[in-house]
Amino acid sequence: MAILAIDQGATKTAVVIAQNNGTIMGAGLAEGACHFTAGVEKALEVISLATDNALRQADLRLSNIERISAGLSGANWPDEIEMLQSRLRSLFSISEVEVCNDCIVALRGGTDKPNGIVLCAGSGFNSAVMIDGKIRTVLNNYIEMSDQGGDALGARVLNTIFRSRIGIQAETGLTAEVMEYFGYNDIDHLLLAFQRNQLEKPLKNIAFILFKQADMNDRVALSIVYEFAKSISRYATASIEKYRMAGMDCDVVLSGGIFMAKNPLLVETISTQVHRVSSRAHVVNARFDPVVGALLMGLDRMYGNNEAVKDNCKKSAKKLGLLRFQI
């Protein structure tokens, strides 16, 4: 029999199917979705599509699956989690279904330690805290809008180039590239389109422009990266202090597309902020895709701390390219 693991975020839906010994047999992808914004039916539709793709690669049937472990975007509150579990049971006719927020599976994909904090920055942002192997909190709706991942970075960049236009901010190479990205020749027209919510391309993609300019040592771009890193670090440092984790051997796991950027300032700033409150915390960029974390969580429930099973999972994940960083 097999286990189905799901990671669904705003950008993509990833699925893996593994044997009960942890060996991954197949993987599938589909577009991203969130039940809260796109609707439950859409979220389930793309999960079903990704699962079909994984089943074909694994040469298995749905009847071979006996357990589901899922990390889903927008699974923030107990009633939402209960509803999503019920819908997945009905969709796949499988009784053993566990659902959690997608940032939790990202945390598990980054550490085997019992104590950890995740900063998950993709299209949006979330953070969770684990102590002694148990999730203590998921911050979800408490995240400030200015910290919401790629979307927030895009808004920070736009507000910066608007300040540059009136002389409050220094000139920056971001201006020309952002205007080209949105297809505007006049910054006033860009400003109006932004304020009227009429931009035809997603804000989150401006993050690529931001890191490109930062790599070119644009001082304004570097300042945006630095301030964003300091801001999202607060969720880790506040958790360390609130839950008295300073004396614990703890991983602060970085996951999500924003942390794939190669510019060192983002991670180094977070490391500095974290180490101001805990010298024992280790800031690590998650090696495995979150869907591998979803699988590991399912295997943890089945076997506990079984090193052989975890090793099978990680080795097969590497073979299938389910690594955030290819080493």
92-148 pLDDT per residue, tens: 999 999 999 999 999 999 999 999 999 999 999 999 999 999 999 999 999 999 999
Residue 33 identity = A
**Domains of the chain, start order:** 2-107+288-319 (3.30.420.40), 110-286 (3.30.420.40)
Residue 170 identity = A
Give the pLDDT score at 326: 62
State how far the Cα of 300 lies from the Cα of 289, in Å rounded to an integer: 17
> Are the beta carbons of 288 and 313 closer than 8 angstroms?
no
**Is the predicted pLDDT of residue 277 greater than 60, yes or no?**
yes
Structure tokens at 177: 């590239």
CB-neighbour burial class of residue 134 (10 A; exposed 0-12, middle 13-18, buried 19+): exposed
Handedness of CA 87, 90, 95, 96 (dihedral sign): negative
Could you identify the residue written with the tokens 């960083």? 325
Residue 230 carries which DSSP code? Answer: H
**pLDDT, tens digit (0-9, with 9 covering 90-100), for 58-85:** 999 999 999 999 999 999 999 999 999 9
User: If we measure between CA atoms, which residue out of 110, 23, 26, 75 comes closest to residue 288?
Assistant: 110
User: If we measure between CA atoms, which residue out of 1, 126, 120 comes closest to residue 63?
Assistant: 1
CB-neighbour burial class of residue 231 (10 A; exposed 0-12, middle 13-18, buried 19+): middle
Strands (E), the chain: 2-8, 12-19, 24-31, 65-72, 96-101, 116-121, 125-131, 134-138, 250-255, 281-285
324 Cα distance to chain centroid: 11
State how far the Cα of 248 lies from the Cα of 208, in Å rounded to an integer: 35
**Is the predicted pLDDT of residue 155 greater than 60, yes or no?**
yes
State how far the Cα of 136 lies from the Cα of 128, in Å rounded to an integer: 8
pLDDT cut 90: percent of the chain above it: 96
Give the pLDDT score at 202: 94
User: What are the backbone dihedrals phi and psi of residue 133, each rounded to the nearest 5 degrees, phi first?
Assistant: 80, 5
Element of type H or E holding 159: helix 149-165
Instruction: Please give the model's pTM, rounded to 2 decimal places.
Output: 0.93
**Is the predicted pLDDT of residue 304 greater than 90, yes or no?**
no
